[in-house]
Structure formats: structure tokens, C-alpha cells
């Protein structure tokens, strides 16, 4: 991650020192050539931006369970979207199992595949819990992406949000209890989406 494009930016210096010239702005998803600093518009780069931010139409979401179609990853492996591995970073397999299971609950999956469902939910200033919603949505879209580069996905950003929002009760570096994580995660999502705090 090398921010900026100016003469003194890390990206600019890197482009001159190492002759790496194509850079992607992760916020705008635009490509630039450095050090010349011009935008690159080339449809062949669309695969990269789609992997970073996959999108689904309502029709595609409706058809997910109707047609199980194998996809071929860029590395040549085949996979079934939704049935892909999650990288085990250190000791996060307890969380991976829960996230995998939740990604295959159709109403939950369908809701999070379409970012418009929760994009405009208003949260109080400084509320970090909505980060869980955003990261879970991103992870769902990556797990169900029919155009992945590999047949596995990294849950790193999602797990960073879990560590932050759980105040380190659930971590990447040490084992946790899957049932405890499931209970906390569903309640945290419910609350972040504006749900009630009443216990039923």
C-alpha cells in the first residue's frame, strides 16, 4: 500500500526506484501510471477491480441457489462460488467456520450481497460497530464472487473488524469458542443494523 501520486509520495518514489509503473487507487478503483501521473483506462484491468469490489444484481442473487456452476479461478483451479476456503491467518479457524456457515444461510447471504440494503443506514458519530456490517458484506461478496483469482479468500479485513469491535475478546492469534463467537457476532450485526436491544 503506497499512498499518493505526488513527487514526494511513496508510490512515486517506488515507481522510479523499482520501475513499477501501474498503481491502483483503492478508494476510486482507478489505475494510474507513475511517474508520468496519468490515468490508465483499459478494459483488461476490469477483472482486478471486480475482484476487489464484486457486485451482484438482484437477478444474480436470485439465481445463486438455482444453478450451481463451477467457476475457474485465474490460477486455473475450479471452485464453486460460496464454497471457497478462508485463509487461516494464525488461530482464526473457529471464526472461519462460523463465517463460512453464515455465508450459506440464503436470507442472510442475499441481504449482504447487495450493499444497497445497508449502505445508507445512519449510525451515531464514532460508532465502530457498523464496520462489522461493511466487512461482512465485503466478505460475502468475495466468497460468492464467480471471478476470483484463487479458490480461497482472505478474511483478514473481516477479522480485524472483529478484533476491534469485540474489544479483543475474539482474536486472530488465539483460539476462541465458535459458539460464543456466533452469538456475539449475530448480536453485534443485529445491533449495528439498528436492531433492538431487548432480550426475547
Which parts of the chain are beta strand (E)? Answer: 22-25, 30-33, 38-40, 71-72, 78-79, 85-86, 152-153
144 and 75, same structural domain?
yes
For residues 191 and 135, the answer to whether their CB atoms sit within 8 Å is no
Q: Which of 170, 188, 168 is nearest to 102 (CA)?
A: 188
Neighbours of 77 (CB within 10 A): 13
For residues 148 and 84, the answer to whether their CB atoms sit within 8 Å is yes
116 and 68, same structural domain?
yes
* Pairing outcome for strands 85-86 and 152-153: parallel
pLDDT 10s digit of each residue in the chain, 200 long?
Answer: 567 788 888 888 888 888 888 888 877 888 888 888 888 888 888 888 877 888 899 999 988 888 778 888 888 888 989 988 899 888 899 999 999 999 999 999 999 999 999 988 888 888 899 999 999 999 999 999 998 888 889 999 999 999 999 999 999 888 999 999 999 999 999 999 987 666 55
Backbone angles phi, psi at 71, to 5 degrees: -115, 155
110 and 34, same structural domain?
no
Domain limits for position 15: 10-41
How far is 40 from 140, CA to CA, in rounded Å? 29
- Report pLDDT for 151: 86
Going from the C-alpha of 111 to that of each of 46, 60, 86, 148, 183, the distances in angstroms are 25, 13, 21, 21, 19
66 and 148, same structural domain?
yes
List Cβ<8 Å contacts ≥24 apart for 37-44: 37/5, 37/12
Q: Which of 97, 129, 125 is nearest to 193 (CA)?
A: 129
Q: What is the DSSP letter of 83?
A: B
Report how many domains make up the chain. 2
What are the cell numbers at 112?
A: 449482504
CATH at residue 92: 3.90.70.10
32 and 118, same structural domain?
no
58 and 17, same structural domain?
no
103 and 26, same structural domain?
no
| pTM score | 0.81
On the 0-12 / 13-18 / 19+ scale of CB atoms within 10 A, 138 is buried
- Exposure of 191 in the CB half-sphere (CA atoms within 13 A): 16
Amino acid at each position: 500500500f503506497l499512498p499518493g501520486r505526488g513527487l514526494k509520495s511513496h508510490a512515486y518514489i517506488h515507481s522510479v526506484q523499482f520501475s513499477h509503473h501501474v498503481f491502483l487507487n483503492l478508494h476510486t478503483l482507478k489505475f494510474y501510471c507513475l511517474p508520468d501521473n496519468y490515468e490508465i483506462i483499459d478494459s483488461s484491468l476490469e477483472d482486478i477491480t471486480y475482484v476487489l469490489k464484486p457486485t451482484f444484481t438482484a437477478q444474480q442473487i436470485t439465481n445463486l441457489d438455482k444453478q450451481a456452476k463451477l467457476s475457474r479461478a485465474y490460477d486455473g483451479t475450479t471452485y464453486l462460488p460460496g464454497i471457497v476456503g478462508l485463509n487461516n491467518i494464525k488461530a482464526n479457524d473457529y471464526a472461519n467456520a462460523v463465517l463460512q456457515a453464515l455465508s450459506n444461510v440464503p436470507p442472510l447471504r442475499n441481504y449482504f450481497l447487495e450493499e444497497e440494503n445497508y449502505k445508507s443506514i445512519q449510525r451515531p458519530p464514532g460508532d465502530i460497530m457498523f464496520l462489522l456490517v461493511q466487512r461482512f458484506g465485503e466478505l460475502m461478496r468475495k466468497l460468492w464472487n464467480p471471478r476470483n483469482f484463487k479458490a480461497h479468500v482472505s478474511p483478514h479485513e473481516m477479522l480485524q473488524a472483529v478484533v476491534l469491535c469485540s474489544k479483543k475478546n475474539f482474536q486472530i492469534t488465539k483460539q476462541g469458542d465458535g459458539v460464543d463467537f456466533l452469538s456475539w457476532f449475530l448480536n453485534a450485526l443485529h445491533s449495528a443494523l439498528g436492531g433492538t436491544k431487548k432480550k426475547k
